[in-house]
């Protein structure tokens, strides 16, 4: 989770979501696989999120998922 937080703050926060990501804080109902796939594959037109699967390893994406989960309620 700590690694995911650090990665989120240096990439996701700086580029798009902000350092206090309202989109995820206390968010309910997100499935871990959905978050993983969205980070890996991007929003596929449903959102402007680009794919990060060629930038981050699977382990790094799971670390991001763990961090996002820690600030939500799922």
3-state DSSP of the chain? CHHHHHHHHHHHHHHHHCCCCCCCCCCCCCCHHHHHHHHHHCCCCCCCCCCCCCCCCHHHHHHHHHHHHHHCCC
pLDDT at 53: 96
pLDDT at 28: 86
pLDDT at 30: 87
pLDDT at 3: 93
**pTM, whole model, 2 decimals?**
0.86
| Residues of the chain predicted below pLDDT 50 | none
pLDDT at 74: 74
pLDDT at 64: 95
């Amino acid at each position: 989770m700590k690694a995911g937080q650090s990665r989120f703050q240096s990439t996701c926060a700086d580029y798009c979501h902000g350092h206090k990501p309202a989109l995820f804080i206390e968010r309910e109902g997100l499935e871990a696989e959905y978050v993983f796939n969205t980070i890996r594959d991007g929003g596929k037109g449903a959102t402007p999120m680009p794919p990060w699967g060629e930038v981050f390893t699977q382990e790094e994406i799971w670390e991001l998922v763990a961090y996002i989960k820690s600030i939500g309620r799922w």
